[in-house]
Structure 1
Amino acid sequence: MKDNIYIIGAATTPFRKWPEKSVKMLATEVVSDALRDAGLEADRIEAAWFSNTRQPMLEGQNTIRGQIALGAAGLPSVPIFNIENACASGSSAVFNAANHIRAGQADITMAVGVEKMYFTDRREKMFAAFMGGTDIEIVDETAERMSAIGRDIIPESADNSAERSFFMDVYAAMARQHMKTFGTTQEHLAAAAAKAHFHSTLNPKSQYRQDMSVEEVLADKQIVWPFTRAMCAPISDGGAAVILARGSALTDDQKKRAVEIKGVGIASAQKREMTDYAQHAGRRAATIAYAQAGVDPADIDVVELHDASAFAEIQQIENLQLCPMGEGGAFTASGATKLGGSVVVNPCGGLMSKGHPVGATGIAQLEELVLQLRGEAGARQVEGARLGVAENGGGFLHVEEGVTVVTVLSR
Structure 2
Amino acid sequence: MEDVAIIGASMTKFGERDTWIQDLLAEAGIACLEDAGVSGDAVDHLYVSNMASGEFEGQTGTANALAHDLNAMPAYTQRIDQTSSSGGAGIYAAWQSVASGASDCTLLVGGEKMTHRTTSEATDVIASLTHPAEYKHGITLPSFAGLTARAYLDKHDAPRESLAEVAVKNHYHGTQNPHAQFQKEVDKETVLESPIVADPLRLYDFCPITDGSAALMLVPESKASEYTDDYVVISGIAGATDTHVVHQRPDPTVMNGVVESGESAYEMAGKSPEDIDVAELHDMFTILEFLQMEGLGFADVGKAWEHAMEGTTYIDGELPINTSGGLKSKGHPLGASGVAQGYEIYKQLMNEAGDRQVDADVGLACNVGGFGNCVITTIMEQA
TM-score, normalised relative to structure 1: 0.88
Aligned twin of 1:408: 379
- The corresponding residue for 1:126 is 122
2:377 partner amino acid? V
1:220 correspondence with 2:194: yes
CA distance in 1: counterparts of 2:240 and 2:226, whole angstroms: 36
1:229 and 2:203 correspond: yes
* Partner in structure 2 of residue 207 of structure 1: 181
Shift of 1:341: 0.6
- Identity across matched positions, percent: 30
Partners of 1:95 and 1:132 lie apart in 2 by 24
Counterpart in 2 of 1:386? 361
Report the Cα distance in structure 2 between the residues aligned to 1:233 and 1:276, rounded to whole angstroms.
Answer: 20
Question: What do the CA deviations read for 1:329-360 (whole angstroms, capped 9, x no partner)?
Answer: 11111111001111100001000000000000
SS in 1 for 2:343: helix
Q: Which residue of 2 aligns with 1:371?
A: 347
| Among 108, 112, 117, the residue aligned to 2:109 | 112
Secondary structure, aligned partner of 2:14: coil
Matched residue, 1:149: none
Q: Which residue of 2 aligns with 1:93?
A: 90
- Preserved CA contact (<8 Å) 2:7 2:227: no
Letter of the 1:71 partner, please give it.
H
How far apart in 2 are the matches of 1:362 and 1:265?
A: 13
What is the Cα deviation at residue 380 of structure 1? 0.3
2:154 aligned partner, one-letter code: K
SS in 1 for 2:128: helix
Q: 1:247 aligned to 221, 225, 246, which one? A: 221
User: 1:257, CA displacement in angstroms?
Assistant: 2.2
Partners of 1:275 and 1:310 lie apart in 2 by 15
Which residue identity does 1:239 align to in structure 2? S
Contact in 2 for aligned 1:28/1:74 (Cα 8 Å): no
Residue 75 (structure 2) pairs with residue 78 (structure 1)? yes
1:267 aligned residue: 240
* Deviation readout 1:188-242 (Å, 9 max, x if unpaired): 0001110000000101110001111222221223222222222110000000100
Report the CA distance between 1:123 and its aligned residue. 5.3
| Aligned mates of 2:47, 2:88 — CA distance in 1 | 11
The CA RMSD measured in Å over matched residues stands at 1.7
Which of 283, 291, 311 in structure 2 is aligned with 1:335? 311
Question: Offset at 1:139?
Answer: 1.9
For residues 305 and 67 of structure 2, what CA distance do their matches in structure 1 show? Answer: 42
Q: Please give the alpha-carbon distance, in whole angstroms, between the structure 1 residues aligned to 2:34 and 2:101.
A: 25
CA distance in 2, matches of 1:227, 1:124: 18
Q: Which residue of 1 aligns with 2:333?
A: 357
Q: 1:135 is matched with which residue: 122, 127, 131? A: 131
**Off by >4 Å, runs of 4+ in structure 1:** none
Q: Mind listing any 5+ residue stretches in structure 1 that lack a counterpart?
A: 144-165
Alpha-carbon deviation of 1:167? 1.2
Residues 182 and 330 of structure 2 are in contact (CA less than 8 Å); yes or no, is this contact kept in structure 1? Answer: yes
Q: CA deviation at 1:388?
A: 0.2
Q: Aligned residues, how many? A: 378
- Give the Cα separation in 2 of the matches to 1:99 and 1:234: 31
C-alpha deviations, 1:135-156, integer Å up to 9, x for none? Answer: 124424583xxxxxxxxxxxxx
**Would the alpha carbon gap of residues 124 and 178 (structure 1) be closer, same or farther in structure 2, given more than 3 Å must change?**
closer
Give SS of 1:257's match: coil
Q: Gaps (5+ residues) in structure 2?
A: none
Match of 1:284 among 244, 252, 260: 260
**Aligned residue type for 2:176:** L
1:92-150 deviation digits (Å, cap 9, x = unpaired): 11111111112211111011111001115x5553232012111124424583xxxxxxx
Match of 1:114, SS?
strand
Cα distance in structure 1, aligned partners of 2:57 and 2:300: 44
TM-score by length of 2: 0.95
Amino acid at match of 1:389: L
Tell me whether 1:33 sits opposite 2:31 in the alignment.
yes
Paired residues for 1:182-197 under 5 Å: 182-197=156-171
SS at match of 1:204: coil
CA distance in 2, matches of 1:61, 1:32: 20
**1:154 paired residue number:** none
Residues in 2 aligned to 1:389 and 1:44: alpha-carbon distance in whole angstroms = 29
C-alpha separation in 1, matches of 2:45 and 2:227: 22
